[in-house]
Amino acid sequence: MPNGEPFINKPVPGADQYYPLNDPAIGTPLPIKAYPQNAKVPLLFQPLTIRGITFKNRIWVSPMCQYSSDNGHATDWHLVHLGGYATRGVGAICVEASSVTPEGRISPEDSGIWDDSHIPGFKRIVDFSHAHGTLIGIQLGHAGRKASTLAPSVHTNAAKTRRAPKRTADIEDNGWPGDVVGPSAISFAEGYPDPKAMQAEDFVRIEEAFVAAVERCKKIGFDFIELHAAHGYLLHEFVSPLSNNRTDEYGGSLENRLRYPLRIIERVRKAWDKPLFVRISATDWAEGPEKGDNGEWRYWGLEQSKVYVGEMKKLDVDLVDCSTGGNWDKQDIPLVPGYQVPFAEGLKKAHPDIPVTAVGLITDPKQAEEILQSGKADAIFLARELLRNPHWAMYAAQELGVAIKPSNQYERAWMSVLTAKPVPN
């Protein structure tokens, strides 16, 4: 008992139940004195500070729909799914796309944040994540014309014994096809809902819903908000000529197509003083050049995305999360490792003063580290690879030869990481 202190398993201060305290935090480099290999820490495990909040490393959990919500409410599935990442070394977690209105959900089982009754379920998850030293945010969204659709496993089961003839979730499927809206009355594809073009009252209602959702985020205690302006959902639909043929102030020119998304961003920024991210699709992956010979934009692409990010900077957005696709049903995407990274790199080159994240078939730790080292992005969002391997952060530390802190409970599984090694050349 040195200095008279007992050897006890210290609890996390202020937690609502007993959790062993991890010191240092899970996923952070251990002291160089004990682990000489940490004299040079890979960028993947270096902190990143945004708007005064420090992310302990740059391995972040991408928002991933779980189709497991009860009328928008988070369930114990979400606690286990997201809480598991909080204990396994990631630097941040982003909760799946959560709709600001009931009819803005992608599927009937999607997450929501349109009602105060959604607060307790999210707060339980946030409190658990914080107790384990991990930042957690939420992606706020509205599915637009891609709302009221069947969850993937409902449309086609894994055994391939059932396949629905449509994508739409009709009334009998717990859907709301008559309440689907978009910038224009253009369906995403055959079998999807037929949206109604938004009217003046819809613009105001949805805008106010985003602001109300921000107030709930404050009560829940989220560390950051990401606005979902990608993958063919409402805010993406406005910026792309493929889904927006309006002739008023919200359609036609690039300035007009950006108007409503920027209005939402501006309102959210004014209401939220913590980090604000925006996820965009940097291209529709449509055929031919982004701009036609007549000088008109044919579809949404990287050059317009650069303009978009420039406007976001004026509104004090803190980070751009770069994805692609989702707005053109005939998209032909070259699914190779890191296929979306060139778009993140393009945005980063155009706007070096704003953090950009990369996502998309990033699976190998050395690949992720190279993306950061070469300045193509500032952090990495992982999705399906984390579904396959929730311990990816620990695996990455093992592969990159850095000693990071596992949770107290999992230390025995990572003795290869916790072995002192000579300083690398």
Average pLDDT, the chain: 96
Given a contact cutoff of 8 angstroms between Cβ atoms, the answer to whether 196 and 186 are in contact is: no
Q: How far apart are CA 195 and CA 181, in angstroms?
A: 5
Is the peptide bond preceding residue 24 cis, with omega within 30 degrees of 0? yes
Predicted confidence (pLDDT) per residue in 19-55, tens digit: 999 999 999 999 999 999 999 999 999 999 999 999 9
Given a contact cutoff of 8 angstroms between Cβ atoms, the answer to whether 88 and 411 are in contact is: no
For the chain, domains (ranges, CATH) are 43-360+368-386 (3.20.20.70)
pLDDT of residue 334: 84
Predicted confidence (pLDDT) per residue in 149-202, tens digit: 999 999 999 998 989 999 999 999 999 999 999 999 999 999 999 999 999 999
Predicted confidence (pLDDT) per residue in 333-366, tens digit: 888 889 999 999 999 999 999 999 999 999 999 9
Where on the phi/psi map is residue 398: left (φ > 0), alpha (ψ -120 to 50), or beta? alpha
Question: Nearest-CA neighbor of 194 among 204, 209, 181?
Answer: 181
What's the chain's length in residues? 425
Question: Nearest-CA neighbor of 264 among 205, 220, 195, 221?
Answer: 205
Given a contact cutoff of 8 angstroms between Cβ atoms, the answer to whether 142 and 99 are in contact is: yes
pLDDT of residue 1: 54
Given a contact cutoff of 8 angstroms between Cβ atoms, the answer to whether 216 and 131 are in contact is: no
- Work out the number of other CB atoms within 10 angstroms of the CB of residue 174: 14
